[in-house]
Structure 1
Amino acid sequence: MEISLREISKDNYEAVCDLDVKKEQEEWVACNMWSLVESKFNDGYITRAIYVDDEPMGFFMWVKESLHKVSIWRFMVDKNQQQKGIGRIALTLALDEIKACPSVKEIEICYKPENPVAKDFYAGFGFVETGMDDEGDDMLASIML
């Protein structure tokens, strides 16, 4: 099983839009189609499909907030592919790609505090909680480089 991140293009965007999370996860994950629309109309939005071999199985979107800060806004693995280690490898690949930009000093991610898996999962990558966002909806966590 080879896991890779690939650009989203006219050849794979429909398959990425067809990916979905489990019913109980829907409140925590935005729709891939909406995320792709956002990325096309906003500067600094980067999208990647998570591939397993030659099939798209997940999605990432991160945003260049500033010269020194990148925020991961979207991260999902299809409901039929979860619990196989794909997300862990994919997040490692995404972090490596983001860290390859020498000006980046902070990588931020956010998640719902009610999400039972998120805190421990992200902490395992070195993300440290920094507090709630301005709206009080999402927990923010960062890796300082």
Structure 2
Amino acid sequence: MTISLRPIDIHNYEAVCDLDVADTQQNYVACNMWSLVEAQFNQGYTTRAIYRNEEVVGFFMWVAQTGHSVSIWRFMIDLKFQQQGIGREALSLALEQIKSLTDVKQIEICYMPSNPVAKAFYSSFGFQEVGMDDEGEDMLAVIELSQ
């Protein structure tokens, strides 16, 4: 099984829009179609389809917040492909791509504090909780990069 991140284009955007999560996860994940629209009309948004071999199985979007900070706004694996290690490998690939950007010193991600699975998953990659986000709704966790 080969996991890769690929740009979203005319050939794969429909497959990305068709991805879904379990009903119990709906409150934790934004709509992929909406995210693609957001990325189309805003500067600094990067979207990637997550592939297992040649099949679209997930979605990523990260946003350049400042010259030194990137925030992962969207990350999901389709219901049919969860619990197979795809998310772990995809996040590793995304972090590599983000870390390769010039002058990035911090990577951040938010998740609902009521989601202990997300907390454990992200902390295993080195994300450390720093408190609630500006809206006071989501937990903010960061990776500080030394350069």
Following superposition, the deviation at residue 3 of structure 1 comes to: 0.3
Which blocks of at least 5 consecutive residues in structure 2 are unaligned?
A: none
Percent identity reads: 66
Residue 3 of structure 2: aligned partner: 3
Which blocks of at least 5 consecutive residues in structure 1 are unaligned?
A: none
Residue 65 of structure 1: aligned partner: 65
The alignment covers a number of residue pairs equal to: 145
Q: Residue deviations 1:74-130, cap 9 Å, x none? A: 000000000000000000000000000130000000000111300000000000001
Residue 130 of structure 1: aligned partner: 130
Query: Which residue type is aligned with residue 132 of structure 2?
Result: M
Q: Residue deviations 1:6-63, cap 9 Å, x none? A: 0000010000000001110000000000000000000000000000000100000000
Residue 114 of structure 2: aligned partner: 114
Residues in 2 aligned to 1:104 and 1:10: alpha-carbon distance in whole angstroms: 29
TM-score scaled by structure 2?
0.98
Residue 35 of structure 1: aligned partner: 35
Query: Which residue type is aligned with residue 57 of structure 1?
Result: V
Q: SS where residue 15 of structure 1 aligns?
A: helix
Cα RMSD (Å): 0.5
Residues in 2 aligned to 1:55 and 1:2: alpha-carbon distance in whole angstroms: 10
Query: Which residue type is aligned with residue 33 of structure 1?
Result: M
Runs of 4 or more, structure 1, over 6 Å off, are none
1:139 paired to 2:146: no
TM-score scaled by structure 1?
0.99
